Structure 1
Amino acid sequence: MTNEKLMKGEFSALIAEMTTNEKVALLGGHHMWKTKAIPRLDIPNIVMTDGTYGVRYSIPQIDEDEAGGQDFSAFLSIVNQRADDIQITWGKIKLATCFPNGTSMACSWDLGLARELGEALARECQEFGVHLLLGPGINIRRTPLGGRSYEYYSEDPLISGDFAAAVISGLQDNGVGASLKHFACNNSEMERTTMDSVVEERALREIYLKGFERAVKKANPWTVMSSYNRLNGVQAAENKWLLNDVLRDEWGYEGMVISDWHGIKDRPASVIAGNDLDMPESETRKAELLEAIETGSVDIGLVDRACARVLQLIRLSKLNERRVAAFDRDRHHALARRMAGESIVLMKNEGSLLPIDLSKTRRIAVVGEAAGKPVIQGSGCATTLPTSVDSPIDEIRKLAGEGVQVDWYNGISEVDSESQALQAEAILGIKDADLVVVFVSTEVGYDGEGSDRRTLDIAPGQDELIRTLSRTNRNIAVVVASPDAVVMPWVNHAKSVVEVFFSGQAMGGAIADVLFGKVNPSGKITTTFPKRIEDIPAYLSYPGENGRHLYSEGILVGYRWYDTANVEPLFPFGHGLSYTSFAYSDIRTDRDTLADGETLTVSFTIENTGKLAGKEICQVYTAYGTPRLKRPVRELRAFTKVWLEPGERKLVSLTIPADDLKVYDTARKAFVLDDDAVDVQVGASSRDIRLSAGIRTVAPHTRYRKIDWDTQPIFILSNPIARAKFNAFLCRQLAIGEAEADRMLDHCANSFIGVFTTFDRRFRKAFPKEDIAALLVEVNEAMERAV
């Protein structure tokens, strides 16, 4: 029977009964996917497994309690297995629904749909007996080359954090814990367990931590997973500043921190830093922790605190078990199809080539191996063995009906001698087709955990295949399956381009729905597509060298870079077309000024001006007038997805808290609201702004920089608060009048050295250090109090 003290949350009493060896064991897990049970105290174990978009359940490793993953080199050698080799890595796997992957799902911009994903994953976990699902992953897609980019949601932290919060809520409200990962700055798979992500403080706060902060505060995940990499010189799993100072002390997180698998290098250091549960089980690391406790280098109080957090996770998990639950395979497949349909992005549609008009279409030619064997997911620990897989060619034939001939040609092969014959066959076959649909994808094997992509190209030979086919038939629609952005040197040779990313097991049905207009596409990309690899913001500093990866672009990540540097993308952030059209009008705000603690409401009208019902994703950005600190041209602040019948108009209202407009001031070590003119922009993408309205953020205390002992005089003279305080200081110290003190300050205006050094140099006047310190405190506190 489960321990009553555990179920009542009496952790201190229960921990007092535990031996040191039992505490160490509890904090060290059991084999690959369980916590350690302690039978003597009736403490049960719980089960966890991978899955950001599907539940991967290893029967031998969970049901048969097979030990695995304890040899680090062996672990690293298997994580990059191809998706179709999953059982080589994990043994026999239970079939589960493969939902759209992160890059695909986020293109829906639908937080309600994200919650549905969490609810569906919870149902599957409950049936399988899984208490904790190791996801969602929300690392920023800093570069589209990142191997695990397909798991992640966006290059923008607002989308990443809010989407994750919705998935987490769907999971945990249905009794299954989430593990928000990978905390933090795991943005590349290159030397991922040792690479040092070197990130300046402002970019770290505004970009790479912000999504985690939003998800933690909105959804309170049961666990947060520390990442493999080092962060500014310290292993993330052993980083006290990250795990305690920021996550717990600043953000108020009270849950458990779990390591990524074999992510801890120094177990005692990780406990001190606040990393509670070490996974998977390692006899070596348990021995290291036990020795550290016995020698006193790790305080037993820290160990007890970590044990309490693990026990709290076990308690939550056991209280929320619903073992009679079962999920409907067909219903979940239908849900996966709907999700994929909501997420597919129509990137280009010249001459309204799509949707297919069955009244005018007699023959469709489909080209590409992926039409029969679709690329539906990435590779690595997140890979799911699907319950079923839709074949695009079969689904296209179903919707085409008996009146339309649909022919399929491979068009290309990995064997050069075969490719020539297959291409010739395809060229001949498409000659009189009313429409040619070409399925292409990135190279399989560089789409997952353990390796970044080497190029932004699609698989070898496919660029030329599209160009060659276009010389025979111009009515070409290209369907692209990719983990993240790709370049498209053939884009002018295709009338339509449809990006599906990795859309899961029902992609075949979903793409058929979109091609035939059964679903009006409404997805929009959550990352920028560059024209060439050299345009990536991180191009010159990626992937790092000598174990250090410098995030050289700072806060200018993704669209923030393209828009600010005026680099023309292939497709901008937030872009996506529809089979109908939308008009924006009548923007208004509920206030002209916005102060700290207040909320701005932005309202506007959206109208469907086309002939088909459809959904439009409306995006609100803010741009800045004369920012005190460097800021991007615009930043996403809110979004919504609106359903409209033809001719229908709706009033849309979105709220933006003042906190979301704050900038991280490294001098103040805090987020502050600047005093500035702000342009509130409503658009269909970051490059398609339809409406704007001006407001002002009011924060007088942030107009001026913090004053220090070596601040140049010009910054004091331009600050009336500081100038007045310095004037009074000189009057007191030198027994002079205000006019004389003002003349002294004006005389210092052109000095390039610190103000107090200037006083010494120009007037031979030095002041006591304690008086200077008191003046600086007085000045800076007065600025903070200014209203």
Structure 2
Amino acid sequence: MTLDEKAKLLTGTGMEGFSGDIAVVGETNGLVPGAAGTTCPIPRLGIPSIVLGDGPAGLRIHPTRDGDTATYYCTAFPVGTLLASTWNPELVERVGEAMGNEALEYGVDVLLTPALNIQRNPLCGRNYEYYSEDPVVSGKMASAIIRGVQANGVGASPKHFAANNQETNRMASDSRLTQRALREIYLRGFEIVVRESQPLTIMTSYNLIDGVYSSESRDLLTTVLRDEWGFGGMVMTDWFGGKDAAAQIRAGNDLMMPGLPAQHDSIVAAVNNGSLAIEDVDVSVKRILNLVLASPRFKGYAFSNKPDLEAHARIARQSAAEGMVLLENRGALPFSAAVKNIVAFGITSYDFIAGGTGSGDVNEAYTVSLKEGLTNAGYNLDADMAASYEKYIASENEKIKPDTINPLAAAMPKVRMSEPVPARAEIARLATRSDIALVTIGRSSGEFADRRLKEGDFLLSAAERNLIESVCREFHAAGKQVVVVLNIGGVIETASWKDLPDAVLLAWQAGQEGGNSVADVLKGAVNPSGKLPMTFPVDYMDASSSANFPYDYQASVSTPALLPGNNTKTKTELVRNVDYTDYEEDIYVGYRWLDTRGKAVSYPFGYGLSYTSFEYSAARLSKTGGVFTVSVNVTNSGAVGGKEVVQLYASAPPSTLGKPAQELKGFAKTQELKPGESQTVTITVAESDLASFDEARSAWVTDAGTYKFRLSSSSRNVRATLDAVVERASEIKTHNVLNPREPLTLLNP
């Protein structure tokens, strides 16, 4: 290959819809219209382009094509946070298989999923794509998706590697954190993924880590990812990520996407002037070629453009229902046989939110609203109220003018319209002719912007609070019950109002079958078994990262600001939490902080109610060759069938490093247990899983002593405790890399 051909292979063919500095390099964008990008072909050598497609909730391509009467819809699956709430890797792997099959049949070779960044703060705009505040949950769920996708011969690309935990100024923000926090929290999920599912590719993040772009960090991409973890695949940038193409190649970032002419030129120039070794170029070329050789397109797969969307919709519906979390229930759910007539309040009852915006969006054929789902389940919804809401929604939508100038505007989250509140007399009248009331609260978010600590976002708006209070007052006065459904992508404040309704169902953003899935749970066709993969704090500022997050920053969005390398501020001009963010909470993210401090929470990590109850018995522990095996019998002690998630937390003996009160080390979900039925659940924990990272020794260190293993149904509900003895301390050495450039002032737990 010539140097020109090599440089072309290292840069993609551009991005559809952009011009100027973001010009198309190659001519392959039209292979699968709407796909995220393509690699550059080398026809002389028989090297084809391969196609890369978003995303985390299902494949995103254009649903229609010019001059073509066929449609190319994809399935909108539940968002990542909902899938994580199932705590069921086997089910999530089936979702991955369906996602990968659609990619295969539509001619996409790499699916850009999963997104497994840590939910460091409740207000990150992309938390809906991410799995958890805990790296074990994140790693296990992401591994399941990858196994499912790659079972089709399609590559998966876990992202965003690493420490991409805010959207504000995401292409120039510096994540400043300790080696320990990076290793234990922000890299741990990716390490689990590499070791357990062998993804074909990994996508680097936009941000800097302690002053170095992640895509330009050899310490991260070569020393840790490849030398320590054994990753053998290809690394690509996020779209337009990083600044210096030659530095990216030297670091071990092989492919620049979507590709810019300037990147090609800079690689050629760097080789010619000796600042980039041709050997480094050749290594990256070989990795890309290996991916091309493994691709369905190179192998000549005859994709059909006709995946089984009906079968995939059934998987979407099942997984969505299993991941919904029952937060409150005072006898309102499941609906009794007497419930026939329902009145649904709230815009989102009729305009259900399937998923977030940006790369996590999907062009699906339909979205089942809550109204439609309840009607499908045989309930009668108040027609007058439905007509009133639908008229209001149509009127408000007419006022929204699409942005035809900014090509990124379509990916931005839309501002939710104001919530109308019916008059008190109208609500009272509806209470007399309805059996029960539903109030749906909706939230949407996505790329480019974080959520805000304000009414209508983290907090209920005044109208939403008024609506819940008014409906509860009038329906309770009539002896009727009220259920609140949360159609949201991330945590909101619940402590101040959760006791008003009779039940609260956290439906998340459930994909295209969302309304049917909610109805399945409300009716009792599915017993909710979802558990929270994050904590709901009482107050936003209770979260350990809140003082170090741009919760009150008003960002403006323009194309130049979104591109890398445009931050020319001097050190004194840098804005805290925008140009840089200090991770002062260190390893104490989410429940690790709140449980250690004994802080009251609205809902704890791992929490979720059921329509039945479960008893734990006969907990026992054995040890073989440095691996603990923990078993417990779980019995359905209630009146209906259901599933239970057993969570294993470890509390360490006193350590000079300082440890959280407890950390999740494993989990397992039972099968559907009939009333009275039991199942023995087994969880294994290696001694090395108990290690903490000792920066002074550049090693993972497992202290000797007695660890408390807590079998729990949430981080705050311990069912059994066992002593696990580590007789000898041990350590696993690592490279001394990724040191922070400046010391951090850390919070005191």
Change (3 A) 1:691 1:321: farther
479, 484, 490: which one pairs with 1:478?
Answer: 484
Q: In the alignment, residue 587 of structure 2 is paired with which amino acid?
A: I
Offset from partner CA, 1:439-462 (integer Å, 9 cap, x none): 1112x4xx0000000021245621
In 1: Cα distance, 2:427 partner to 2:77 partner: 32
**Would the alpha carbon gap of residues 701 and 114 (structure 1) be closer, same or farther in structure 2, given more than 3 Å must change?**
closer
Q: Given that residues 346 and 419 in structure 2 are in contact (C-alpha distance below 8 angstroms), is that contact kept between their aligned partners in structure 1?
A: no
What is residue 44 of structure 1 aligned with on the other side? 48
Q: What is the aligned counterpart of 1:533 among 515, 537, 540? A: 540
Query: What's the counterpart of residue 520 of structure 2?
Result: 513
Where 1:653 maps in the other structure, the secondary structure is: strand
Residue aligning to 2:434: 433
Q: Match of 1:606, SS?
A: strand
Matched, 1:198 2:179: no
Please name the residue that 1:693 is paired with.
722
| Partner amino acid, structure 2, of 1:565 | R
| Unmatched runs of 5 consecutive residues or more in structure 2 | 16-36, 397-416, 551-575, 732-749
Q: Which amino acid letter does the alignment assign opposite residue 493 of structure 2?
A: V
Which residue of the other structure, out of 698, 706, 720, is the alignment partner of 1:669?
698
The answer to whether the aligner puts 1:289 opposite 2:267 as a matched pair is: yes
Letter in 2 for 1:605: N
Query: Would the aligned equivalents of 1:346 and 1:498 in 2 still touch at CA under 8 Å?
Result: yes
Moved more, 484-493 or 241-250: 484-493
Q: Output the TM-score relative to the length of structure 2.
A: 0.83
For residues 155-189 of structure 1, give each alpha carbon's deviation from its aligned partner in whole angstroms, at most 9, with x where no partner exists. Answer: 11011111111111111121100011000000000
1:405 shift after superposition: 7.0
Moved more, 469-478 or 607-616: 469-478
Larger Rg: 1 or 2?
Answer: 1
Report the Cα distance in structure 2 between the residues aligned to 1:371 and 1:390, rounded to whole angstroms: 10
Q: Which amino acid aligns with 1:558?
A: G
Counterpart pick for 1:499 among 494, 506, 514: 506
Matched, 1:615 2:621: no
Equivalence map 1:77-226=2 (5 Å): 94-226=72-204
Q: Residues 512 and 407 of structure 1: is their aligned pair in 2 closer, same or farther, counting only changes over 3 Å?
A: farther
Give the 3-state SS of the residue equivalent to 1:461 in structure 2: helix
Percent identity for Structure 1 against Structure 2? 38
Q: Structure 1 641/420 Cα, relative in aligned 2: closer, same or farther at 3 Å?
A: closer
How far apart, in 2, do the equivalents of 1:526 and 1:641 lie?
14
Residue of structure 2 equivalent to 1:22: 5
Residue equivalent to 2:446 = 448
| Whole-Å separation in 2 of the counterparts to 1:586 and 1:529 | 31
Matched, 1:648 2:648: no
The answer on whether the counterparts of 1:367 and 1:426 sit within 8 Å (CA) in structure 2 is no
SS in structure 1 at match of 2:57: coil
AA partner of residue 533 (structure 1): Y
What is the identity, as a one-letter code, of the residue corresponding to 2:318? R
Shift of 1:363: 2.9
1:529-549 per-position Cα deviation (integer Å, ceiling 9, x unaligned): 111211111111113446110
Matched to 1:30, the amino acid is T
Q: Which of residues 397, 409, 413 in structure 1 aligns to 2:375?
A: 397
Residues 370 and 439 in structure 1, CA contact (< 8 A), matched pair in contact too: yes
SS in 2 for 1:400: coil
Equivalent AA in structure 2 for residue 55 of structure 1: L
**Aligned counterparts of 2:233 and 2:340: Cα–Cα separation in 1:** 60
> Are residue 562 (structure 1) and residue 594 (structure 2) matched?
yes
For residue 601 of structure 1, the aligned residue among 625, 629, 644 is 629
Deviation at 1:367, TM superposition (A): 1.1
Q: Distance in 2 between matches of 1:110 and 1:341?
A: 12
**Matches of 1:379 and 1:578, distance apart in 2:** 31
CA distance in 2, matches of 1:202, 1:184: 14
Q: Which amino acid aligns with 1:611?
A: A
Are the structure 2 counterparts of residues 700 and 225 from structure 1 closer, same or farther at C-alpha, using a change threshold of 3 Å? Answer: closer
The 3 A distance-change label for structure 1 pair 422 and 133 is: farther
How far does residue 424 in structure 1 lie from its aligned partner after superposition? 5.5
Residues 1:683 and 2:712 are matched in the alignment = yes
CA distance in 2, matches of 1:381, 1:422: 40
Amino acid at match of 1:566: G
Match of 2:336 among 352, 357, 360: 357
* Alignment match of 1:348 (pick from 325, 328, 337): 328
The 2-side partners of 1:688 and 1:31 are apart by 52
The answer to which structure, 1 or 2, has the higher relative contact order (CA under 8 A, 6+ apart) is: 2
Q: Deviations over 1:527-570 (max 9, x none)?
A: 10111211111111113446110111110101111101111111
Q: What is the rounded CA distance, in whole Å, between the counterparts of 2:657 and 2:486 in structure 1?
A: 40
The structure in which a higher percent of residues are helix is 1
Segment of structure 1 superposing worse, 539-548 or 682-691: 539-548
- CA shift, 1:58, in A, is 3.6
Q: Normalising by structure 1, what TM-score?
A: 0.79
CA distance in 2, matches of 1:454, 1:147: 9
Cα pair 1:229 1:236 within 8 Å, conserved: yes
Cα distance between partner residues in 2 of 1:407 and 1:614? 37
Return 5+ residue gaps in structure 1 as ranges: 1-17, 65-91, 703-787
Deviations 1:625-683 (A, max 9, x none): 32232111111111111121101112211111222111111111111211121011101
1:283 is displaced (CA, Å) by: 0.6
- Give the aligned length: 648
Deviation at 1:201, TM superposition (A): 0.9
**What's 1:263 paired with?**
241
CA drift at 1:482? 1.1
SS at match of 2:474: coil
Equivalent-residue separation in structure 2 for 1:214 and 1:321 (angstroms): 32
Task: Name the CA distance, whole Å, in 2 between partners of 1:523 and 1:396.
Answer: 21
Closer, same or farther in 2 for the Cα pair 1:418/1:427, shift >3 Å? farther
1:239 corresponding residue in structure 2: 217
